[in-house]
Amino acid sequence: MTASVFDIFTVGIGPSSSHTVGPMIAAHRFAHRLAQQGWLSRVRQLRVELYGSLGATGRGHGTDKAVLLGLEGQQPDSLDPETVATRLAAIRKSGQLLLLARQPVARETQAPWLHFRRDTLPRHPNGMRFHAFDGAGDAVVADYYAVGGGVVASDDELTLRPAAGATAPPFPFRSGAELVQRCRDAGLSIAQLIYENEQAWRPAAEVVDGVQRIRIVMAETIARGCRIDGELPGPLRVRRRAAALHRKLMSRSEESPRDPLSALDWVNLYAMAVTEENAAGGRVVAAPSNGAAGVVPAVLQYYLKFVPGSSEEGSFNFLLTAAAIGLIYKASTPMSGAELGCQGEVGVACSMAAGALAAVLGGTVGQVEHAAQIGMEHNLGMTCDPMGGLVQNPCIERNAMGAIKAINAARMALCGERQQVVSLDKVIRTMMQTGADMKTKYKEASRGDLTVNVVEC
Ligand code: SF4
């Protein structure tokens, strides 16, 4: 297992790691491929086909805009979300996009340039096919797949999944059992073990800086989400609630006697602030996906605000432990709603946050594994059905529920080191089997439960 913390936590823009971040990266890669093949100045026409779940819910997720920006050379981790509207308006007005910011290509051609298709490429539910044509009718064609968490694979890479680095880490693991055993053998906590592994690929200072950046972006997203009122983009006209809740909680803490459950309101606030920012196309950290981006920051913020003795060192350990649990899932399965339902996004995030919180509350390695197991066990079977293809309903509240569940899972695990009936590895296997049995309409297709019933009502 050679994936890194920075494969689990990736900085990008909302609303979706598979439907926004992934397509932007794929489009950027395709544009670079054209440049490498000496094709940039030859391109007269572009066609992009979005398949499966991308075809079904891509419009609501802003996939079309992400593809345009990616073709222009933008990357999700460096793009300034504030500039997006201006750039898209300029493309609309001129009818041209600038391939890699320099080669003008007519966006509109005789046929629509972007096709949202309901069929699926054979190899993955989130497929994209890019075509570039020159004046003589020759073409460059490439397929890419958004495999979850903002990771993109070409045809070759889908077979040979990309690795974080060529060097083997000192403590490789692919399962919860292996991780626990390696920690016990080496006398290390999970965070210490991950820190050692990361140093196989980058200097210690870079690891610290990278984790610190993740921490800062998470905090900034919460702060921004707590400030902004108004409606989220899209036809559902969903009102943002985090800013109003923040004002209410601030006034309550000044005037009212202490409510013993007020911490829950704050956790809800943190999770909703992040997921509203995500839905609005703002900057978020995928953890492990954009749709589930609110859970880990909400539980981390809970730790910092409500746990006596919390510290920045604790937040560092929290993020490394959460990443370790995410890496166990990543070693077994892509973490996306299109493949597993929401158990593969909010369920995984809940599991990561539960284990991380148990660790910084002083849990043993076994208790951390147990917390992560509880966090997933009670999300098994959770479907993905974003209304209108927008990452808003049920996603925003679902993140808040995932964060609360994670805190409870950590507390349950810390009640004692009991003989576990179900291990983390067994619950992950169950999640994968459940995902495989789940009907396609419950896997990010916007054709199932809430979408259908809310319209009927
Ligand atoms: S329902 Fe869950 S998996 Fe589906 S888009 Fe929303 S957060 Fe992601």
DSSP one-letter string for 83-133 = GHHHHHHHHHHHSEEEETTTEEEES--SS-SEEE-SS--TT-SSEEEEEEE
Q: Per mean pLDDT, which of 42-46, 75-79, 195-199, 388-392 is the most reliable?
A: 195-199
Distance from the alpha carbon of residue 188 to the mean position of ligand 1, in angstroms? 35
**Ligand 1 atom 2 nearest Cα:** 342
| Same domain (yes/no): 153, 283 | no
32 in Cβ contact with 97 (< 8 Å)? no
CATH number where 61 lies: 3.30.1330.90
pLDDT of residue 254: 60
Atom of ligand 1 nearest to the CA of 290: 8
Atom of ligand 1 nearest to the CA of 275: 7
pLDDT of residue 71: 94
| Same domain (yes/no): 35, 82 | yes
- Res. 368: pLDDT tops 80: yes
Instruction: Kindly state whether residue 285 falls inside one of the protein's structural domains.
Output: yes
**329-339 exposure pattern, b = at least 16 Cβ within 10 A, e = fewer:** bbbebbbbbbb
Site to substitute for ligand 1 among 329, 343, 384, most atoms within 8 A of C-beta = 384
| Same domain (yes/no): 134, 220 | no
**Ligand 1 atom 8 nearest Cα:** 291
- Res. 273: pLDDT tops 90: yes
**Ligand 1 atom 4 nearest Cα:** 384
**13-25 exposure pattern, b = at least 16 Cβ within 10 A, e = fewer:** bbbbbbbbbbbbb
* Closest CA relative to residue 370, chosen from 231, 191, 176: 176
Site to substitute for ligand 1 among 295, 444, 446, 449, most atoms within 8 A of C-beta = 444
- Domain range holding 424? 176-456
**If you ran DSSP here, which 8-state letter would residue 169 be given?**
P
Atom of ligand 1 nearest to the CA of 398: 7
Distance from the alpha carbon of residue 421 to the mean position of ligand 1, in angstroms? 29
Question: Which residues are CB-contacts of 375 (< 8 A; sequence separation ≥ 6)?
Answer: 347, 350, 351, 352, 353, 354, 355, 405, 406, 409
Atom of ligand 1 nearest to the CA of 341: 3
Cis peptide before 15 (omega within 30 of 0): yes
434 in Cβ contact with 378 (< 8 Å)? no
Task: Name the band, by pLDDT with cuts 50, 70 and 90, for residue 419.
Answer: low
74 in Cβ contact with 100 (< 8 Å)? no
Helix (H, G, I), strand (E, B) or coil at 407: helix
172 in Cβ contact with 1 (< 8 Å)? yes
Task: Name the band, by pLDDT with cuts 50, 70 and 90, for residue 338.
Answer: confident
pLDDT of residue 452: 60
Amino acid identity of 39?
W
Between the CA of residue 426 and those of 180, 346, 423, what are the distances in Å?
A: 14, 18, 5
Distance from the alpha carbon of residue 141 to the mean position of ligand 1, in angstroms? 31
**Ligand 1 atom 6 nearest Cα:** 395
Atom of ligand 1 nearest to the CA of 292: 7
When computed from its CA atoms, the radius of gyration of the chain, rounded to whole angstroms, is 22
Atom of ligand 1 nearest to the CA of 383: 1
Instruction: Kindly state whether residue 130 falls inside one of the protein's structural domains.
Output: yes
**If you ran DSSP here, which 8-state letter would residue 19 be given?**
I
Question: Between residues 452 and 174, which one has the greater pLDDT?
Answer: 174
Q: What percent of the chain has pLDDT over 90?
A: 71
Work out the mean pLDDT of the chain and round it to a whole number. Answer: 91
Mean pLDDT is lowest, of 128-142, 155-169, 213-227, 371-385, for 155-169
Question: Between residues 110 and 375, which one has the greater pLDDT?
Answer: 375
Question: Which residues are CB-contacts of 172 (< 8 A; sequence separation ≥ 6)?
Answer: 1, 2, 178, 197
Arithmetic mean of pLDDT, 139-152: 90
pLDDT of residue 324: 98
Question: pLDDT, tens digit, for every residue of 190-244?
Answer: 999 999 999 999 999 999 999 999 999 999 999 999 999 999 999 999 999 999 9
Arithmetic mean of pLDDT, 241-255: 88
How many domains are contained in the chain?
A: 2
pLDDT of residue 113: 82
Distance from the alpha carbon of residue 292 to the mean position of ligand 1, in angstroms? 7
| Same domain (yes/no): 148, 186 | no
Task: Name the band, by pLDDT with cuts 50, 70 and 90, for residue 81.
Answer: confident
pLDDT of residue 457: 35
Site to substitute for ligand 1 among 57, 346, 380, most atoms within 8 A of C-beta = 346
Arithmetic mean of pLDDT, 98-106: 87
Distance from the alpha carbon of residue 312 to the mean position of ligand 1, in angstroms? 30
- Res. 108: pLDDT tops 80: no
- Res. 142: pLDDT tops 60: yes
Distance from the alpha carbon of residue 187 to the mean position of ligand 1, in angstroms? 38
Write out the two tokens for 70: 């990616």
Instruction: Kindly state whether residue 410 falls inside one of the protein's structural domains.
Output: yes
Atom of ligand 1 nearest to the CA of 337: 3
Task: Name the band, by pLDDT with cuts 50, 70 and 90, for residue 297.
Answer: very high
Integer Cα distance of 281 and 64 in angstroms: 13
Arithmetic mean of pLDDT, 381-398: 93
- Res. 456: pLDDT tops 70: no
Question: pLDDT, tens digit, for every residue of 167-190?
Answer: 899 999 999 999 999 999 999 999
* Domain termination site, one of 103, 133, 159: 159
pLDDT of residue 418: 62
pLDDT of residue 43: 92
Instruction: Kindly state whether residue 170 falls inside one of the protein's structural domains.
Output: no
| Same domain (yes/no): 304, 374 | yes
pLDDT of residue 1: 54
How would you class 53 by CB atoms within 10 Å of its CB: exposed for 0-12, middle for 13-18, buried for 19 or more? buried
Site to substitute for ligand 1 among 18, 289, 329, 342, most atoms within 8 A of C-beta = 342
Instruction: Kindly state whether residue 166 falls inside one of the protein's structural domains.
Output: no
**Ligand 1 atom 1 nearest Cα:** 384
Question: Between residues 418 and 358, which one has the greater pLDDT?
Answer: 358
pLDDT of residue 173: 96
Arithmetic mean of pLDDT, 440-444: 83
| Same domain (yes/no): 147, 237 | no
- Res. 162: pLDDT tops 50: no
| Same domain (yes/no): 180, 142 | no
Helix (H, G, I), strand (E, B) or coil at 32: helix
Q: Which residue has the tokens 């936590």?
A: 9
| Same domain (yes/no): 408, 286 | yes
The torsion defined by the Cα of 312, 316, 318 and 324, in degrees rounded to 10, comes to 180
| Same domain (yes/no): 155, 180 | no
Distance from the alpha carbon of residue 385 to the mean position of ligand 1, in angstroms? 7
| Same domain (yes/no): 252, 140 | no
Arithmetic mean of pLDDT, 300-315: 97
| Same domain (yes/no): 143, 195 | no
Give the residues surrounding ligand 1 with Cβ less than 6 Å away. 291-292, 337, 342, 345-346, 384, 386, 391, 394-395, 398, 444
Instruction: Kindly state whether residue 417 falls inside one of the protein's structural domains.
Output: yes
| Same domain (yes/no): 147, 183 | no
